[in-house]
Structure 1
Amino acid sequence: MKGRGISYSEAELAWIEAHAKDPRAAMHAAFCARFGRDDVTLINLNALCTRRGWMTSRTGCFTPGQTPHNKGKPWPPGKGGRHPNARKTQYRPGNLTGAAKDNLKPIGTERLSKDGYPERKIREDGPAHERWRAIHLILWEEANGAIPAGHCLKCLDGDRRNSAPENWALIPRAMLPYLNGHRGLDYQAAEPEVRPAILTVAKLKHQLKETRKPNDAFPEGRS
């Protein structure tokens, strides 16, 4: 059974609206003292403000420069650290358990990526996607040095699992549209004997495009 509704005078409502942004506990105490309303609890006052849309100034977020009230304090207070039950399950650097331990692969492990490239694990630390590297990139750089910026390796025989350095050609990334069928022929779908010609045409188209770019060596309006 619901209780009886609480009524407020116009003066009381105006006072509450004017002080709605004050801390609720302090506002409730001031309201009761001012109007002698011992029948209005803090819960009643909060409910009234919610119904009327009179919200406090608090957003629940920390403001710039605000210091958390528990900064620097150990938990539990006075015991110098976390609760023993919390310490049992807290993460410790270098200590793997559960599924992470079962799925851990040693450095040097090889696998096939979702795109069909053989990969090798090269490190344990860092982001997960940086712990593995395509084997054809590793072998090509061992033979030829680092891949220059703006360039990539193109598989020549169409078999991504063939990681031999001689099966990969260094090309500008801007050439790729001429090899994937968007602006030229589809290198991957072509017959093996036609692919060298497609690669040559793609190189010529790329070079032609580069020569047509404005010459930045001269000031604007001069040639």
Structure 2
Amino acid sequence: MKRRPPIKYSEAELTWVRENATRARRVLHSEFSRRFKRSDVTLGNLRKLCERNGWQTGRDGREAPIGSERMNKDGYVFRKVDGPESQPAHKNWKPVHVILWEAIHGEVPDGCALKCVDGDKKNTDPLNWVLISRSMLPRLCGCNGSIPFSSAPMELKQTILAVAELEQVSRASKKEMRG
């Protein structure tokens, strides 16, 4: 496969990018393209140029104030919590439903998870979350041919949870009997 020739930048373009490198890359790219009329330079090209030259945005992931909230790609709401400076920035974000649930019930035990009852992950009310064993998660996703918990009607959710718990207890007791 043939490589494309490297993109040539003028001295004025390089100076401008270096002076504006602390801007968010999307904004930098948009302004660069408009200012220099360079439709041939993609966002990825500009990111790589900055990376090669060591021009960083100056952002370290810690710029959001403590208490800020954001939503991840799966629809869970996260809140920025105080953490040690030595800790990676991404570890300073914790799911809001976990924070609220733990304030009432204490820490989520190892091997357990919180399952959203009404299917709305944005609903962080502790009453909307139930503590379950992680080993129950495959039973609730519909992997065994049953109705997936997340897409089941509200009136069936409690039944699906009860059946999954029963299967869990049954499996554990069979395991114990086998020794």
TM-score, with structure 2 as normaliser: 0.62
Name the aligned partner's letter for residue 192 of structure 1.
M
Q: Which of 214, 217, 221 matches 2:176?
A: 214
Structure 2 portions without partners, runs of 5+:
1-55
- Aligned-residue RMSD, C-alpha: 2.1
1:47-196 correspondence to structure 2 within 5 Å: 98-100=57-59, 104-123=63-82, 125=85, 126-183=87-144, 184-196=146-158
Pick closer, same or farther for the CA change 1:174–1:101 going to 2, 3 Å. Answer: closer
Q: Which of 178, 182, 201 matches 2:163?
A: 201
Pick closer, same or farther for the CA change 1:103–1:138 going to 2, 3 Å. Answer: closer
Superposed structure 1 runs of 4+ greater than 4 Å apart? none
Deviation digits for residues 137-160 of structure 1 (CA, Å, limit 9, x no counterpart): 000000000111110100000000
SS in 1 for 2:176: coil
Name the aligned partner's letter for residue 82 of structure 2.
R
**Shift, 1:128, TM fit:** 2.5
Instruction: Give the Cα separation in 2 of the matches to 1:142 and 1:104.
Output: 26
Pick closer, same or farther for the CA change 1:151–1:103 going to 2, 3 Å. Answer: closer
Structure 1 portions without partners, runs of 5+:
1-96
Instruction: Give the Cα separation in 1 of the matches to 2:61 and 2:143.
Output: 44
TM-score, with structure 1 as normaliser: 0.50
Paired position in structure 2 for 1:90: none
Contact 1:178–1:185 under 8 Å retained in 2: no
Greater RCO (CA < 8 Å, at least 6 residues apart)? 2
Name the aligned partner's letter for residue 162 of structure 2.
T
Contact 2:140–2:164 under 8 Å retained in 1: yes
Pick closer, same or farther for the CA change 1:197–1:101 going to 2, 3 Å. Answer: closer
Pick closer, same or farther for the CA change 1:191–1:141 going to 2, 3 Å. Answer: same
Instruction: Give the Cα separation in 2 of the matches to 1:103 and 1:133.
Output: 14
Structure with more of its chain in helix, by fraction: 2
Larger radius of gyration: 1
Pick closer, same or farther for the CA change 1:192–1:127 going to 2, 3 Å. Answer: same
**Shift, 1:215, TM fit:** 4.9
Count of residues in correspondence between the two structures: 121
**Identical amino acids, percent of aligned pairs:** 40
